[in-house]
Amino acid sequence: MSLLGMPFVDNSADTVLHVVALVVMVGTVTALVVGFWKIHELPINKAHKEDHHQLGLITALTWIGFVWHWVWVLAVFVAFIDGEKALRRLRDIWHEPGDHQKSTLEESNNA
């Protein structure tokens, strides 16, 4: 074989290498598509698992997220954050007496 000659040309090794390359390429593209789909369906799966009350909204946002990707991020937030529990916690923090109010309440109770 010379330095200018091409290896694996016009023999069975050439065909085998092309088939291996095709299998690797198809496998890689398939794995990428399946991985993208599983990540994209994450909000819907979480909503089903948690029996979320906004399942329709999350599904619609996920499908719209194929076109506008920022909408998919919104679907993730809605699916993973329980809005009612977050609002209740925020309300409790808002109505929780501060240190100054606690000492005033304790003094009035002791009197």
- For residue 29, being part of any structural domain is answered with yes
Share of the chain above pLDDT 90, in %: 40
Q: What is the pLDDT of residue 107?
A: 61
Domain presence at residue 86: yes
Residue 5 maps to a domain: no
| Per-residue pLDDT reduced to its tens digit, 14-53 | 788 888 999 999 999 999 999 999 999 999 999 999 888 8
Instruction: Give domain status of residue 4, yes or no.
Output: no
Look up the domain containing 104 and give its range: 12-110
Residues with Cβ within 8 Å of residue 80, at least 6 apart in sequence? 43, 46
In a domain, 6, yes or no: no
Q: Give the C-alpha separation, 72 to 37, whole Å.
A: 12
Mean pLDDT of the chain: 82
